[in-house]
Structure 1
């Protein structure tokens, strides 16, 4: 074969993920001219145009989208075979890069990673905590733990556990301001709002008499932060009502430090997911970490959530 088809496929997949042939070439140690030449040769060999090119971006053609799916399957199979051989020959080692939300990362995940490190001392951890959704490619992340549905179909999603969000407040706050009985009562309350890179999470969703209802918090009246752990601390301090994942709030609810509000109007949500690149999932250290997290979430679901009522709607 006159061309390195496997290398060309990797270049194509990286270019599609990064939206830039230059960036893909840089990642694979190719000059812009070499990357461009290889893509042209690949398209010529396939007799198919894979990208619509402009000066600003690459856009996949319909044929390119189909080829991308097939390349991902082929490369994943090759990487899995190589990873399996490596795993059978040596101890799992290297650095695994993880992204998680701030409160969960500090509150639970850090302790879990300590236990993981004791089991696999040759694996080093790089942990990024952010309440904004990570771009796994741009942020160089192997595995992201996220609460919610998968939006990027190019990633592998592994369901880890159930999840729902609760409105909650401290007993001190409720003693001073009263407890809302319906979503309409929220209009007279104070709030703590988490702000992410996509904007403030200040709209709450409910079901009232079978109908969808929303409440949007006026930001000029709210305490706001981009740190979920600080939002929970402010709720504990009585500054207002906060919206938290049940994983972040379960201990405080059980111990009476926070009280769940309007639970009968809550709606079901997507669970907790591990998001991975198809290829990164195959590396031994990432695969071992994922297996560890699946087990930890299973145990924690039984321990933390067994006596807390989940939404029925």
Structure 2
């Protein structure tokens, strides 16, 4: 028996994500497409079913009665598909590890060969993203996240505690021996991607040090690039002691002032009843030794 003809899968995915987020923009971020692409797919589905599925209310979406009828059935279907695929995925020897791009660049990638040598039968899929993935939906098996030490929805283990330091290359410090106040210094910063946390700033650092307010800062979208710029002698970076740790230990960066700002902690999170818990424990133990 032939299956009845269905709308395109991309149109169904776009509608489900937009209805769940109540936002075209957030749905686009989840699906890694543009908002225009999501809007196009939603309109395509509306033409297919012959009904309007959303009412636009300012910057938010409100499903129409037809949209409210369709959404829970689609959400349940996608959840079931994700669960079925996750079960097959977990039957193998592959774990998906979610980390930020900076963590991947600074700590994970340089040491990955060590993990492969120690765990030749366990394959890691590394997802470098600032998006918080849903562990219950098996978007990842283990996630390294940064934040305060508090109760969390999943099993969590603190990997490292952090602080923020003013760092530069030894060559830069040799060229600027009188820069104790960092006045008129080439300052390097980065964009803080976690909307739920207030990241450290040079303004906070100068205030804590009792120094005059800083001048302009060269800013990067990734912390790892700001750290690399400091290693190359471009200026002074306010950076995580954990992420800058490899360069500090190797002598490629030095602390140019004693003032520090308190940081938070890097955690490894995972679902407590994960069927590959033994493998996850080995991955977490390896992660704990990276810094």
TM-score (norm 2): 0.57
Please point out which of 29, 41, 46 is paired with 2:80: 29
Asked whether 1:189 is paired with 2:175, we answer: no
1:133 and 1:255 map into 2 onto residues whose CA distance is 31
3-state DSSP of counterpart to 1:188: coil
Name the counterpart of 2:34: none
Asked whether 1:266 is paired with 2:260, we answer: yes
Please point out which of 230, 235, 247 is paired with 1:235: 230
3-state DSSP of counterpart to 1:271: strand
Deviations 1:4-60 (A, max 9, x none): xxxxxxxxxxxxxx6686464133339xxxxxxxxxxxxxxxxxxxxxxxxxxxxxx
1:186 and 1:95 map into 2 onto residues whose CA distance is 48
Please point out which of 253, 273, 278 is paired with 1:282: 273
Tell me: CA distance 1:262–1:105, structure 2 relative to 1, closer, same or farther (3 Å).
same
Tell me: CA distance 1:178–1:167, structure 2 relative to 1, closer, same or farther (3 Å).
same
Q: Is the 8 A contact 2:226 2:237 kept in 1?
A: yes
Name the counterpart of 1:291: 282
State how many pairs are aligned: 213
Q: Is the 8 A contact 1:98 1:142 kept in 2?
A: yes
3-state DSSP of counterpart to 1:197: coil
Q: Is the 8 A contact 2:169 2:254 kept in 1?
A: yes
Please point out which of 198, 201, 204 is paired with 1:203: 201
**1:122-137 matches, cutoff 5 A:** 122-130=121-129, 132=130, 134-136=132-134
Name the counterpart of 2:167: 168
Q: Is the 8 A contact 1:203 1:217 kept in 2?
A: no
**1:149-164 matches, cutoff 5 A:** 149=148, 153-164=152-163
2:112 and 2:229 map into 1 onto residues whose CA distance is 26
Q: Is the 8 A contact 2:165 2:239 kept in 1?
A: yes
User: Which residues of structure 2 form unaligned runs of 5+?
Assistant: 1-19, 23-70, 82-86
Tell me: CA distance 1:217–1:244, structure 2 relative to 1, closer, same or farther (3 Å).
same
Name the counterpart of 1:39: none
Q: Is the 8 A contact 2:192 2:199 kept in 1?
A: yes
Q: Is the 8 A contact 2:173 2:256 kept in 1?
A: no
Name the counterpart of 2:52: none
CA RMSD of aligned residues (A): 4.0
Q: Is the 8 A contact 2:98 2:133 kept in 1?
A: no
Deviations 1:290-309 (A, max 9, x none): 333325524x55xxxxxxxx
Q: Is the 8 A contact 2:206 2:213 kept in 1?
A: no
Tell me: CA distance 1:120–1:175, structure 2 relative to 1, closer, same or farther (3 Å).
closer
Name the counterpart of 1:249: 244
Deviations 1:241-270 (A, max 9, x none): 11222233233223332111323x324432
1:27 and 1:122 map into 2 onto residues whose CA distance is 30
2:211 and 2:138 map into 1 onto residues whose CA distance is 33
1:248 and 1:272 map into 2 onto residues whose CA distance is 10
1:285 and 1:117 map into 2 onto residues whose CA distance is 18
User: Which residues of structure 1 form unaligned runs of 5+?
Assistant: 1-17, 31-82, 84-90, 302-313
TM-score (norm 1): 0.53
Tell me: CA distance 1:133–1:156, structure 2 relative to 1, closer, same or farther (3 Å).
farther
Tell me: CA distance 1:188–1:287, structure 2 relative to 1, closer, same or farther (3 Å).
farther
